Amino acid sequence: MKTSSRVFLQILVLLAILAPVGGFWWFRQHQNPQAQEALPKPVRVVIPQRGDLERWVKASGILASENQVTLVPKVSGSVESLLVKVGDAVGIGMPVADIEREAYALDLRRAQAAQTQAASTWERIDRLYKTGNATRQDWEDARAARDATDAQASSAQMRYDWSRLTSPIDGVVLVRHVNEGALVAPEARTPVYTLGSLDALEVTLNIPSGRYEEFSQGVEAVRLIPASSPSIVLEAQVNTISPWVNPKTRSFEVVCSFANSDDLLRPGMLMDAQIILSTEYGVLMVEEEVLVNGNALWVVREGRAQKIVLDEVEIHQGALKLPDSFDQLQVVVEGQHFLREGEEVSILEEQIL
């Protein structure tokens, strides 16, 4: 008896669970199919607008002075004195450092003394030779000694002049590479200072080799934007386009320059560049997010969705170029991935680009 009661209770529980499920299934099967599809699909649309479509390449590079030099001494020795510091303005011919100047001054005085003595001897032998009191050999030896000491004096003068480093440009001191007392030598290519002009700066951009043909046809303009100050936009010009492609990086160099008239930028700063290759004016455009399957989009006509497959897809910097036939059409920008041809839609919002 107890077993029968337990079975009966289990059946009642099972029926209580299945009854709502069965009722819902029956309701879904017998409701009006038209009622299921009565609600239109909500979408957001945009109206394409006309604008200027720029075809540009993005790149980045490090700023450098257009006229930048690194001073390497032409004589060996220890740095006796550094006459300028980083940030100082320098002019052409201005002294910036001395290298054992007193030692080279002594060499010069020694060479000049020997030169004076050799010149005096030559004059005396020349007079004797003209009067027949000196041999031809004596005359030639005296002349050779005079010429040799002249060369030695000139060489000593040159080394003495080189012992004082001077600026070859008008600019500022960008980097000091050594301290006073450091040993330098031309053979070691030891730099003392790096100097550069801040008025004219340049940036070298590495462009992928696949773009070379486009660049060979010319560049319309270049915009430079400091990575640290995106609000600053500078107009630059292309100085050179490399005539060869680096096989290691598969890129070629484009050097752009600009006048740092506001004195805002410094060598070493990272710069982003927009290199404008061409501009098409008055083009009908819409954001590229409207695309479905890569080559189609949806529009709304008389409250219903219509899919249009584009013959050509041209996208530049997030903007999709459209034919003139799309003028004033409502293009679906949100909800387009769930639409069917001819389906009724409701527009939630119409945006104007």
The tokens of 141 are what?
Answer: 């030896």
Distance of CA 352 to the CA centre of its chain: 34
- Which domains occur in the chain, in start order? 37-52+282-352 (2.40.420.20), 57-66+197-280 (2.40.30.170), 70-195 (no CATH)
Give residue 6's pLDDT. 62
| Spatial CA neighbour of 194 closest among 164, 159, 169, 226 | 169
Give residue 10's pLDDT. 61
Rounded Cα gap, residues 21 and 14, in angstroms: 11
Q: Mapping DSSP to helix (H, G, I), strand (E, B) and coil, where does residue 244 land? A: coil
Q: What is the block-wise mean pLDDT of the chain (353 residues), using blocks of 10 residues?
A: 56 58 53 58 93 90 92 95 94 95 95 95 93 92 94 96 95 94 92 92 94 90 91 91 94 92 87 92 92 93 93 87 92 92 87 58
Give residue 39's pLDDT. 83
Which helix H or strand E contains 176, and what residues bound it?
strand 171-176
Give residue 1's pLDDT. 47
Give residue 9's pLDDT. 58
Give residue 314's pLDDT. 87
Rounded Cα gap, residues 316 and 276, in angstroms: 11
Rounded Cα gap, residues 113 and 105, in angstroms: 12
**Dihedral sign, CA of 84, 87, 88, 89?**
positive
The tokens of 56 are what?
Answer: 């540009």
Give residue 38's pLDDT. 58
The tokens of 171 are what?
Answer: 């600019």
